[in-house]
Structure 1
């Protein structure tokens, strides 16, 4: 069974490693969406793979570091592409959420990065 829980946050960033003529080189903001996918058996007693409240509690400290911040100033996110944000989130959540199988980071409704630990 797979479950997915979504979160949103607002943040600014710039991409320092693109040409200065690239529009993402300039500071700008996004309304990010993060989807966490967890997979495992359904517990016969609780009926859960993982309690959504436990997922929320695990993500809350990560969310505090991202929401309404300049992502370039967050430790280890100096080049905050959607790809690297998804890896950054994975690295912080996987130790405590062993059933985590994927992190999706949407910069817009039409573009996102997916990371599964590989």
Structure 2
């Protein structure tokens, strides 16, 4: 089995209402998120690839567009938009259209992120 991936980025603002008063994430702030979407499978005999990257982009981009330049706290299901909650929200939207989805990674900063996989 092979795993291929494609990366996407989006910018969004949020705050975390459930952290203690005085915590820096309780204030409104933003991130440039980096999303890495990984799909798994065998290379198809004719094309010699797992999936066309253009097809992968066609599935992922509309989900990313729902988040790009948005205030995450206003999106249904993301009222407390931790990285863990955002990645699960993304997974739930991608999995029905991408049954071969294996793993997604979401970075909030260059050094901090979360991974979700089956």
- Indicate whether the TM-score tops 0.5: yes
Gaps (5+ residues) in structure 1? none
1:19 equivalent in structure 2: 20
* 2:89 corresponds to 1:93: no
The CA deviation string for residues 89-112 of structure 1, in whole angstroms up to 9 with x for no partner, is 000000110110111110001000
Matched, 1:66 2:49: no
By how many angstroms is 1:29 displaced?
0.4
Q: Which residue of 1 aligns with 2:115?
A: 114
- Quick one: distance in 1 between partners of 2:65 and 2:113? 21
User: In the alignment, which residue of structure 2 is the partner of 1:102?
Assistant: 103
Equivalent residue pairs, number = 117
TM-score (norm 1): 0.96
**Secondary structure of 1:102's aligned partner:** strand
Q: After superposition, what is the alpha-carbon deviation per residue over 1:24-43, rounded to whole angstroms, capped at 9, x for unaligned?
A: 00000001000001111000
Residue by residue over 1:25-64, the C-alpha shift from the partner in whole angstroms, topping out at 9 and shown as x without a partner, is 0000001000001111000111221111111110121111
Residue in structure 2 matched with residue 54 of structure 1 by the alignment: 55
Unaligned runs of 5+ in 2: none
**Deviation, structure 1 residue 81:** 0.9
CA distance in 1, matches of 2:80, 2:45: 43
CA distance in 2 between partners of 1:75 and 1:51 (Å): 31
Q: Following the alignment from structure 1 to structure 2, what is the Cα–Cα distance between the partners of residues 64 and 20?
A: 32
What secondary structure sits across from 2:21 in the alignment? coil
Superposition misfits of 4+ residues, deviation over 3 angstroms: none
Instruction: Tell me the residue number matched to 1:39.
Output: 40
